[in-house]
């Protein structure tokens, strides 16, 4: 019988495996060597590892699928730190796009549609997508075509203004009919 862990979530030490092959773990016979203070070219792995030890750095396989694999002479911890920093920067610069929802009833009046158009313009101006839908309650489901027409009129107004583009045609989702509008790309 196995001993019970002291805490139910404690599963023992986690060993994190390196995402790259380094030094002796490189399996290729020859590698293309890149890095600072060295002559770039194709070298046998033993010679490349020897060069890394002379410079006091690691031989890191950065492109294992290339023929021959590309390796870099660099301090491995510093290399991981720089990669993590780049990933963080890419994530920070990524556009975060939300989907804002606008709800209609099948008998929504023109004035109310105009009011909701203002909200849609501001959402699209901020770079968010807009999901407009008509919700059918009870027996109003018989007016499904009226709801589709309402959504298409709403979408066409925004498209004609050059504010949005239609990303999803009217689609039935149970008691709803919905469309998705995305902000028009900057030219």
Query: How much is the pLDDT for 131?
Result: 92
Kindly list the structural domains of the chain, giving each domain's residue range(s) and its CATH number in brackets, ordered by start: 23-87 (3.10.20.80), 99-183 (3.30.110.10)
Query: How much is the pLDDT for 85?
Result: 92
Instruction: Please state the φ and ψ torsions of residue 177, each to the nearest 5 degrees.
Output: -125, 125
Whole-prediction pTM: 0.50
Query: How much is the pLDDT for 3?
Result: 61
Query: How much is the pLDDT for 29?
Result: 85
Query: How much is the pLDDT for 11?
Result: 60
Query: How much is the pLDDT for 187?
Result: 46
- What is the block-wise mean pLDDT of the chain (187 residues), using blocks of 10 residues? 58 64 82 82 87 85 85 86 89 79 87 90 88 88 86 90 87 88 75
Q: Residues with Cβ < 8 Å from 148, sequence gap 6 or more?
A: 134, 170, 177
Q: Residues with Cβ < 8 Å from 116, sequence gap 6 or more?
A: 102, 104, 132, 154
Query: What is the rounded CA–CA span in Å between residue 57 and residue 65?
Result: 23
């Amino acid at each position: 019988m196995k001993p019970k862990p002291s805490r139910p979530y404690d599963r023992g030490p986690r060993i994190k495996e390196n995402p790259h092959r380094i030094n002796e773990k490189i399996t290729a016979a020859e590698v293309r060597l890149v890095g600072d203070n060295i002559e770039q070219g194709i070298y046998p792995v033993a010679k490349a590892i020897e060069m890394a030890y002379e410079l006091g750095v690691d031989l890191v396989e950065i492109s294992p699928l290339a023929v021959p694999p590309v390796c870099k002479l660099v301090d491995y911890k510093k290399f991981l730190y720089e990669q993590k920093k780049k990933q963080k920067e890419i994530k920070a610069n990524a556009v975060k796009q939300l989907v804002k929802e606008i709800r209609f009833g099948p008998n929504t009046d023109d004035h109310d549609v105009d009011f909701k158009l203002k909200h849609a313009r501001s959402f699209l101006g901020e770079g968010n997508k807009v999901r407009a839908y008509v919700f059918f309650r009870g027996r109003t489901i018989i007016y499904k075509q009226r709801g589709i027409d309402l959504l298409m009129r709403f979408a066409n107004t925004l498209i004609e203004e050059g504010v949005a583009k239609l990303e999803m045609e009217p689609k039935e989702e149970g008691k709803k009919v919905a469309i998705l509008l995305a902000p028009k790309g900057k030219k």
